[in-house]
A and B are shown apart, each in its own frame.
Chain A
Amino acid sequence: KAGVTQTPRYLIKTRGQQVTLSCSPISGHRSVSWYQQTPGQGLQFLFEYFSETQRNKGNFPGRFSGRQFSNSRSEMNVSTLELGDSALYLCASSGTGTAIEQYFGPGTRLTVT
């Protein structure tokens, strides 16, 4: 099976702009979670989607949003970018039943200037 894929891999944006990141889960996985990784804060949970519904949300401002499509692919959007949004954004997918381990994609490196 192909692993979790994320596009784009690298992105440079200017403060105030918005950005959309995409995540394609492992085939058959219906849960997609998003995490922000920074040197200072480590790995922080953003939100989790299952069957097109947001099931959990972390402690991030409303500028961070996401959605999931019927094919389980997910997107996250960050509006009004700030310098502090520069980070590696990782998504992870997991299955159902006993296949509940989360597998990460390679991440999108976002730099805000």
Chain B
Amino acid sequence: GENVEQHPSTLSVQEGDSAVIKCTYSDSASNYFPWYKQELGKRPQLIIDIRSNVGEKKDQRIAVTLNKTAKHFSLHITETQPEDSAVYFCAASRQAGTALIFGKGTTLSVSS
């Protein structure tokens, strides 16, 4: 079945720096890749997603890139702020709306 590897497991940056989180997946049939942010004690919230027919997607300070050949995708956060501190999860699925296979998560700490 699908396996999603996520790196790094922890990431500490200074406010204003950029943060990059990388994920690789194993199932070449996966075609939907969302990213979730989970603050302590709260539910995971979808922050951005990308489908396999797109190489890059941006939403203000957040961007996601996808390399289908290498089977990896990345989350880029620019101009980080303390409120970006949270656990970020990548996920993959064969069909949007169905089973999501998650990476283990990255704890991002942004210090001011």
What is A's interface to B at a CB cutoff of 8 Å? 31, 33, 35, 42-45, 48, 55-56, 58-59, 90, 92, 94-96, 100-107
Chain B, interface SS category: loop
> Is the pair B34, A101 in contact by a Cβ cutoff of 8 Å?
yes
CB-nearest residue of chain B relative to A31?
Answer: B97
Per-position 1/0 for B9-37, Cβ under 8 A of A: 00000000000000000000000101010
CA A35 to CA B36, docked complex, whole Å: 14
On chain A, the residues within 8 Å of B103 by CB distance are 42
B96 at the interface (CB under 8 A from A): yes
A58 touches B89 (CB 8 A): no
Query: In the complex where A42-B104, A42-B105 touch, is A105 in contact with B43 (Cβ < 8 A)?
Result: yes
A104-B43 CB under 8 A given contacts A42-B103, A42-B104, A42-B105: yes
Q: Quote the shortest CB–CB distance from B36 to chain A (angstroms).
A: 8
Interface class of chain A by DSSP: strand
Among the listed B1, B32, B44, B97, which residue makes an inter-chain contact with A43, where contact means beta carbons less than 8 Å apart? B44
- A56–chain B nearest beta-carbon distance, Å: 4
Whether A55 lies near B98 (C-beta < 8 A) is: yes
Apart from A31-B97, A43-B89, A103-B46, what 14 extra A-B contacts exist at CB < 8 Å?
A31-B98, A33-B100, A42-B89, A42-B104, A43-B102, A44-B102, A56-B98, A94-B97, A96-B97, A100-B96, A101-B34, A101-B46, A101-B49, A102-B34
- Which B residues are closer than 8 A to A by beta carbons? 1, 32, 34, 36, 42-46, 49, 89, 91, 96-105
Q: Which residues of B contact A31 (CB under 8 A)?
A: 97-98
- What are the 9 A-B residue pairs with the smallest beta carbon separation, nearest first? A100-B96, A100-B97, A43-B102, A94-B97, A56-B99, A104-B43, A42-B104, A45-B99, A104-B44
Q: Which residues of A have CB within 8 Å of B91?
A: 43
A10 to B39: give the CA distance in the assembly, Å. Answer: 18
